[in-house]
A = this chain, B = another copy of it.
Amino acid sequence: MRIEVICTGDEVLTGKIVNTNFGYMAQKLEDVGLSVAWETTVGDDRANLLEAFRLAAARADAVIVNGGLGPTVDDLSQEIAAQAAGVELVLDEAWLARMESFFERRGRVMSANNRKQAMLPAGAEMLDNPIGTACGFAVTIGGARFFFTPGVPRELRRMLEEQIIPRLLAMAGAPGVIRLKRFQTYGLGESHVDQLLAGVEALAPDGSVKLGFRAHYPQIETKLTVRGADAAEVERRLAPVQDEVRRRLGNFILAEDDEILEGVIVARLRALHARLAIAETFTAGQIAARLAHLPSAEHVFCRAVVARDLSQIEAASGMEPTDAAITEAGAAGIARALRAHAGATHAMAALIDLDDAAAEGIDFGGTIWVAIATAEATEVRRARIAGGRDWLRLGAVELALDSLRRHLHGLPLRERTDFERT
């Protein structure tokens, strides 16, 4: 089945806003085993919209159109859809009533131009939008089924998942249930993960499990797409493959499905009734900024101290000035002192010894010391990363957070990653 996407709107076409809706739609379709073959972006222009609809109708089986369902005069999708389908626009009384109650619940009066949003091509199938006033709909134009969706990302996302993907899967004759299982890892490169997982798909019958990756340095996402007749069959097929992925990637798996590294850390700290303090240098507050804003972080995050100068870190950690250096002992000493001063159960110091700038060249980088202190002990992880300053900072933030995750789960801190030099 050939699927195309048409994105509309002057704001997208002129680059005023970056089109993240398209990438989102393409990924969601990939996740259920469907693919986009062609994407077109046109502005709020009648002739170009009509031409785009006409071309897609001649090439595709299904077309998703995004945007142009709003109340203003430059929102043209319903009008051009009706024209392309050769039908009239008619008022959908049910949607009009829905919109009126939508405004009423918010204590606002619906303006006259919103009425336009209830004008749909005659015979269109309504696609529900439970969180907005733009009514989605489906119509047939030429040989293709067109699905019209709102430009507002959260409205699009919900409509795509609840209304459109089930219809596309039915059109594709795909089996009843598809499930996407995801694993996030830090420390392994994409080709290494690929190599470690060679052959896992064969643990499920008949290619019913498909393996894929998405790299966003420093993390890699491993995805298993599973098909089956029903939920029980999907789970049965997924189980051996999922177990094997967990076994092979081991401690490098930092989160599964919708979890994120920093969320895993905050949840674990809460479960342990722990309270965390952080000292950081070259990472410039980026470790703290990944954690401290999260919901419920206020219960576990007690203090972060950020400075390039170790004497500032010492002063803010209640230490007497020493000649602390960026070494194993220096990092451990700061973590211990900060822990005591902040009244925390856990303190992490992430210190980076940047190479001499004069020697900056292909091997430029830095040595990272991550120390984690508790009442019982202080553990230190050392790593060397080569690359420019931004790359080094990105890697150091992730290494520190992942070391903390490992510590909180009782896993070894010292497991070599693909990103470090000796």
Give CA–CA (A235, B23) in the complex, Å: 41
- Given A214-B16, A286-B289, A38 contacting B36 (CB threshold 8 A): no
Main secondary structure on A side of the interface with B: mixed
A401: Cβ under 8 A from any B Cβ: no
- Given A288-B284, A293-B284, A306-B304, A13 contacting B40 (CB threshold 8 A): no
Task: For A22, list chain B residues within 8 Å (CB).
Answer: 15, 19, 41
Task: For A40, list chain B residues within 8 Å (CB).
Answer: 38-41
A303: Cβ under 8 A from any B Cβ: yes
Contact of A15 with B19 in the complex, beta carbons under 8 Å: no
Partner-binding segment picked from A25-33, A181-189, A327-335: A25-33
Contact of A306 with B286 in the complex, beta carbons under 8 Å: no
Task: For A265, list chain B residues within 8 Å (CB).
Answer: none
In chain B, what residue has the closest Cβ to A282? Answer: B293
A312: Cβ under 8 A from any B Cβ: yes
A315: Cβ under 8 A from any B Cβ: yes
A292: Cβ under 8 A from any B Cβ: yes
Task: For A20, list chain B residues within 8 Å (CB).
Answer: 18
A341: Cβ under 8 A from any B Cβ: yes
A383: Cβ under 8 A from any B Cβ: no
Per-residue B-contact encoding for A76-87, CB less than 8 Å = 1, 0 else: 000000000000
A166: Cβ under 8 A from any B Cβ: no
Give CA–CA (A302, B309) in the complex, Å: 7
A307: Cβ under 8 A from any B Cβ: yes
Contact of B36 with A13 in the complex, beta carbons under 8 Å: yes
Interface residues of A in 1-56 (CB under 8 A from B): 12-20, 22-28, 30, 35-43, 45, 48, 52, 55
In chain B, what residue has the closest Cβ to A27? Answer: B15
- Given A307-B304, A312-B303, A393-B293, A26 contacting B13 (CB threshold 8 A): yes
Task: For A42, list chain B residues within 8 Å (CB).
Answer: 37-39
A301: Cβ under 8 A from any B Cβ: yes
**In the complex, how many angstroms separate the beta carbon of A131 from the nearest chain B beta carbon?**
15
Give CA–CA (A286, B284) in the complex, Å: 10
Give CA–CA (A390, B30) in the complex, Å: 30
A308: Cβ under 8 A from any B Cβ: yes
A316: Cβ under 8 A from any B Cβ: yes
**In the complex, how many angstroms separate the beta carbon of A299 from the nearest chain B beta carbon?**
9
Contact of A37 with B43 in the complex, beta carbons under 8 Å: yes
Specify which of B18, B312, B315, B342 is in contact with A312 (CB 8 Å cutoff): B342
**In the complex, how many angstroms separate the beta carbon of A351 from the nearest chain B beta carbon?**
14
Interface residues of A in 136-189 (CB under 8 A from B): none
Task: For A35, list chain B residues within 8 Å (CB).
Answer: 14
- Given A19-B23, A286-B293, A289-B289, A307 contacting B315 (CB threshold 8 A): no
Contact of A19 with B16 in the complex, beta carbons under 8 Å: no
Task: For A71, list chain B residues within 8 Å (CB).
Answer: none
**In the complex, how many angstroms separate the beta carbon of A291 from the nearest chain B beta carbon?**
8
A130: Cβ under 8 A from any B Cβ: no
In chain B, what residue has the closest Cβ to A12? Answer: B23
A93: Cβ under 8 A from any B Cβ: no
A132: Cβ under 8 A from any B Cβ: no
Contact of B30 with A24 in the complex, beta carbons under 8 Å: no
A207: Cβ under 8 A from any B Cβ: no
A257: Cβ under 8 A from any B Cβ: no
Contacts A284-B291, A303-B315, A315-B341 aside, 4 further interface pairs with beta carbons under 8 A come to A14-B26, A55-B55, A303-B306, A315-B318
* A residues adjacent to B (C-beta < 8 A): 12-20, 22-28, 30, 35-43, 45, 48, 52, 55, 106, 214, 284-286, 288-289, 291-293, 297-298, 301-309, 312, 315-318, 341-342, 362, 390, 393
The 13 sampled A-B contact pairs (Cβ below 8 Å) are A37-B42, A37-B45, A38-B41, A38-B52, A41-B41, A285-B289, A285-B293, A288-B289, A302-B307, A302-B312, A306-B306, A312-B342, A316-B317
Q: Closest 7 CB pairs between A and B?
A: A15-B26, A284-B292, A285-B288, A15-B23, A15-B27, A284-B293, A39-B41
